[in-house]
Chains A and B, each alone.
Chain A
Amino acid sequence: QLQLQESGPGLVKPSETLSLTCTVSGGSISSSSYYWGWIRQPPGKGLEWIGSIYYSGSTYYNPSLKSRVTISVDTSKNQFSLKLSSVTAADTAVYYCARHPDGYNSGYYYMDVWGKGTTVTVSS
């Protein structure tokens, strides 16, 4: 059974870089059929897609965050990571990692496996 687990610091100072890792277990991140994405949810608010990466390194980013976001993949560790620079209090949120099919080739666009989420607070 595929599982995703987010990890990283729960507290980040303003203007610094938020770094999170998602570890995939029970399956290979190198599957040719899936992208691996990051989604966040500020306290009491809705979901926001941040970006996604393919095992080859191909990425999609939300234009609203693109200038501050970098998503990378480490297939040897079955992990992918998120870096968000120049954070402010507005970046305080629960950050989820999730899997979604490679829609361009499969015709499927949805997120079917999610991690439990990790809370990141931006504060000095």
Chain B
Amino acid sequence: QSALTQPPSASGSPGQSVTISCTGTSSDVGGYNYVSWYQQHPGKAPKLMIYEVSKRPSGVPDRFSGSKSGNTASLTVSGLQAEDEADYYCSSYAGSNPLYVFGTGTKVTVL
């Protein structure tokens, strides 16, 4: 099982939107609505931002939204703020072998 493919970087100015893609296969992203997204600041643990493709845990701003089409999921951050500058990783349930697969990661820069 290979890692999900994400662009290495994305950027936007404060107040703008940025969208990150996450491409997998029919065995993971395309096969289940169990895509999640994690935000990771330098030296910190990942933080759950989106689960089940588009649901936000309590406390996550509604500026963060998720979607999926076929084998590709996307995370959109609207109204970019300085604190959104971080690495973002997608993840998908992939059956039981393995249980989870992660994306390659995208560094988001707020210009």
Chain A residues near B (Cβ < 8 Å): 37, 39, 45-49, 52, 60-64, 96, 100, 103, 108-112, 114-117
How many B residues touch the partner, as a band?
Answer: 20 to 34
Contact call A47/B48, Cβ cutoff below 8 A: no
Please name all residues of chain B whose beta carbon is closer than 8 Å to the beta carbon of A37 when the two chains form the complex.
Answer: 100
In the complex, chain B residues whose CB is within 8 Å of the CB of A49: 91, 98-102
A109–B93 CB distance below 8 A: yes
Given contacts A60-B96, A62-B98, A110-B91, contact A46 B57 (CB under 8 A): no
A contact patch SS: loop
Task: Say whether A48 contacts B102, CB under 8 Å.
Answer: yes
Query: In whole angstroms, how far apart are the Cα atoms of A67 and B85 in the complex?
Result: 38
Interface: B104 (CB within 8 A): yes
Check if A111 sits within 8 Å of B48, measured CB to CB.
Answer: yes
Question: How far, in whole Å, are A109 and B90 apart by their CA atoms in the complex?
Answer: 12
Q: Are B93 and A103 in contact (CB under 8 A)?
A: yes
Do residues A52 and B99 form an inter-chain contact, with CB atoms below 8 A? yes
Interchain nearest-CB distance for B37 vs A (Å): 9
Residues of A within 8 A of B36 (CB): 109-111
CB distance from B35 to the nearest CB of A (A): 9
